[in-house]
Amino acid sequence: MKARSMVFVLSAVCIFLAWKLAARPAQQPQVNETLTVGPVVASDTDIQLLRQDVRAQKQKLIAQNLPMNESEAVKFWEVYNRYSVDLRGIYDEKFRLIKQYQDTWGSMSDAEALIYTRRWLELDAQASELRSKYVLDVSNALPGKKAATFFQLDRRIGMMIELQIASQLPLALSQDKP
């Protein structure tokens, strides 16, 4: 039952993300209906509100799917709050990178495209390193299976959000198409 509710809530978050990020000009030609070919237009305010909502939904999903007694919960949420602040810094940089991509899309050079790619991969590595850094802290707050469950939930939610964002970004080569 919890797994179904998690899938439902994550689907709702992804639909909401798609709705908020898909505000692009109607006159843009579509090369392929399954791939975004134009820059996504979303205001900074919309993105910040969306990110706040996603963080709240993520915390709610974790709480619903990670049973803890009171002692575990006190320790875990303290660690989770630190982790979230650290992770938010990485996502702040990702969103700056997305904004830069959006601003340069259409005139991006080959060199700029490679710089963008390298920086995105560096941020992915930083997120993985951060998770590794927090394994000890989370395992000090929760028994092994519960700690592993947290990281599974965190990763699943993160992957769904990343997939939704990536699906809204136009492919670099599509800027060269008429």
Q: Which domain holds residue 24?
A: 2-176
Contacts of 82 (CB under 8 A, 6+ apart): 137
Number of domains present in the structure of the chain: 1
| Cα–Cα separations (whole angstroms), residue 67 to 64, 147, 148 | 7, 11, 13
Each of the 178 residues of the chain gets a pLDDT tens digit; together they read: 454 554 444 555 554 444 444 444 433 434 444 444 455 555 666 566 566 667 788 889 999 999 999 999 999 999 999 999 999 999 889 888 988 888 888 888 889 989 999 999 999 999 999 999 999 999 999 999 999 999 999 999 888 888 887 887 878 777 666 5
Amino acid letter, residue 58: K
Contacts of 168 by beta carbon, 8 Å cutoff, 6+ apart: 17, 18, 21, 22, 36, 40
Q: Which helix (H) or strand (E) holds 14?
A: helix 2-21
**Predicted TM-score (pTM) of this structure:** 0.71
Interatomic CA distance for residues 17 and 42, integer angstroms = 11
Six token digits for residue 150: 């947290």
Structure tokens at 70: 């009171």
